Chain A
């Protein structure tokens, strides 16, 4: 019984360990919360909110690519700088879409998932086409990619109506 506090049934070491584990748990929880990790969504409205947040982020990335394309078409920026901006936005869009697609949709939210993933997929395709055109410095392809991208951005802009 050495080291055991009277009546508690738990040794001081175990108590300290439990306290440390508790502290570690709090720190780990805080770290997870800060890093944006979340559990699968539990209900349709939360899932819908998650979809809208994802589409807003996707709209931001796609719009950045659209601006870059316009600047490159008007020869106001360098090919390498444009390539880097588009590649960065593409990576961001891909990561955003991947995170959403990995979420388990609750029952009754399949239509939301389908619409959201369709919008994301179209935006990803348009951004990839823009990146290819910019790297090839192909003006015709850039103009074609710009039209597709403008449509994708417009669709993402109207996503709240489409998902409601």
Chain B
């Protein structure tokens, strides 16, 4: 019974923890502009994150070390440094966006400007990262993040033309008035949002935090194979409600405060309240994950002690990195930069950094010195290689598309 509870809890937190500010903003914006014509990108992104999260989780369970703890040792300091700079830069940008997202969620509930909430959110976040146990942090915010199921409920209550929605899904091309370059730009952004580097940083390091062994592989795979696709369905529900309410009247989502409007239309006030709780949990949970991931990546590269499974005093440098990142995030957000704009750039730069994050996972998951007889099978390698090609193409296209479309205009 305890095992079943553990598995169910893992799957639920995987669903609730799947959506972050990048998924919320990008899916809402894409739904309002392109309907569900880019749903295939979410599906592709979910397949990719399942593939590489399983690999990085397996590495953590078998070797007892996080994937990126092994990158410098296996691939050398230069590749390790390139990996660190690219992935950590994007993770830091995402961290800033998540803190801004929490502040925006509170602003919607209070009408007090988000800039005033930023220091409060950052202080609360740092205290949580300093004091709260890893399992509590992961489970509480993951479960609260399930509130975002209200998007699926709202979709059902809006009683849309399901045939019309399906037609959008099966017509993967820009709508009249939209260009192919804008369509491609948002495809890249959605792909980057689904495969954000911190997700694998956090997943593999979290496996070490929770002391996974080979016995935990089954549970880990259930979380990944069931939790992530269901989380992906939540992302699609976000896009679908904005497609139903905003697309026909020409509203293009450009603020988080517009995202609950379809919920209000479908479910009413109670739905808005649940959605705001979901926004808060999803962004605060992701802020915890990205903050920890910044600390993980730097501490693992330099070989410092890291993690919440040791007392803060024993991992002082790891906690200093988290503290400094939090201060930096506050400083950036206090310039009054729009957190939604930071989010949009973070998902595109995430796409740019993908090869440097995902290639090392594939290499280490194939190394028998670390993995013994648990190296990748043929299917994982074929799919992983095909995905790497896709990732390289997406990465190469990210910046040119950003320039050509003037940031998706």
Q: Which residues of A contact B (CB under 8 A)?
A: 30, 33-36, 53, 56-57, 59-60, 63-64, 67-68, 71, 75-78, 80-81, 83-85, 87-89, 92, 157
What are the residues of chain B within 8 A of A92 when measuring CB–CB?
254-255
Residue B213 at the chain A interface, CB threshold 8 Å: no
Indicate whether A67 sits within 8 Å of B265 (C-beta atoms), given known contacts A84-B107, A85-B258. Answer: yes
Closest Cβ–Cβ distance, residue B270 to chain A (whole Å): 10
Other contacts beyond A64-B258, A67-B251, A88-B258: 14, CB < 8 A: A34-B403, A53-B409, A60-B250, A63-B250, A71-B265, A77-B261, A77-B264, A78-B109, A78-B272, A80-B108, A84-B107, A84-B257, A85-B260, A89-B255
Chain B residues contacting A36 (CB-CB under 8 Å) are 406-407, 409
B126 to chain A, nearest CB (A): 26
Please encode chain B, from 385 to 409, with 1 for each CB lying within 8 Å of some chain A CB and 0 for all others.
0000000000000010011001101
Counting chain A CB atoms within 10 Å of each CB, which of B255, B272, B403 scores highest?
A: B255
| Pair A35/B245 contact, Cβ less than 8 Å | no
Beta-carbon contact of B251 and A60 below 8 Å: yes
Contact with A along B254-285 (1 / 0, CB 8 A): 11011011001100110011001000000000
Complex contact A81–B260 (CB within 8 A): yes
B381 at the interface (CB under 8 A from A): no
A-binding residues in B (CB < 8 A):
107-111, 245-246, 249-252, 254-255, 257-258, 260-261, 264-265, 268-269, 272-273, 276, 399, 402-403, 406-407, 409
B268 to A76, Cβ gap below 8 A?
A: yes
Chain B residues lying within 8 Å of A53, measured Cβ to Cβ, are 409
Contacts of A84 in B (CB 8 A): 107-108, 111, 257
Cβ 8 A contact of B269, one of A34, A56, A75, A85: A75
Q: Which chain A residue lies CB-closest to B407?
A: A34
Output the least CB separation between A158 and chain B (Å): 12
Q: What are 7 pairs between A and B in contact, CB < 8 Å?
A: A59-B250, A67-B249, A75-B269, A77-B264, A77-B272, A78-B109, A81-B272
With most chain B CB atoms within 10 A of its CB, the pick from A35, A88, A89 is A88
Give the residue of B109, B110, B257, B265 whose beta carbon is less than 8 angstroms from that of A85: B257
Q: How far is the CA of A75 from the CA of B260 in the complex (A)?
A: 14
Inter-chain contacts of B252 with A (CB < 8 A) = 57, 60
Check A35 against B261 for contact (C-beta < 8 Å). no
Q: B403 — which chain A residues lie within 8 A by C-beta?
A: 30, 33-34
Task: Decide if A88 touches B257 in the complex (CB within 8 Å).
Answer: yes
**Which of B246, B258, B264 is close to A76, meaning CB atoms less than 8 Å apart?**
B264
Q: Give min CB distance, B228 to chain A, whole Å.
A: 30
CB nearest neighbor in B for A62: B251
A113 to chain B, nearest CB (A): 21
B276 to chain A: which residues have CB within 8 Å?
81
Instruction: Name which residue of chain A comes closest to B249, CB basis.
Output: A63
- Distance between Cα atoms of A30 and B406 in the complex (Å): 9
Question: What is the bound-complex CA distance between A53 and B264, given in angstroms?
Answer: 29
Contacts of B260 in A (CB 8 A): 77, 81, 85
CB nearest neighbor in B for A88 = B255
In the complex formed, the residue of A with least CB distance to B409 is A36
Contacts of A85 in B (CB 8 A): 108, 255, 257-258, 260-261
Chain B contacts for A87, CB-based, 8 A:
111, 257
**From B107, B111, B273, residue with most partner A Cβ within 10 Å:** B111
Q: Which of B264, B273, B406 has the most CB of A within 10 A?
A: B264
Asked if B255 and A76 make an inter-chain contact with CB atoms under 8 angstroms apart, the answer reads: no
Q: Output the least CB separation between B110 and chain A (Å).
A: 6
A36–B249 CA distance with the chains assembled, in angstroms: 25
CB-CB under 8 A from A88, the residues of chain B are 254-255, 257-258
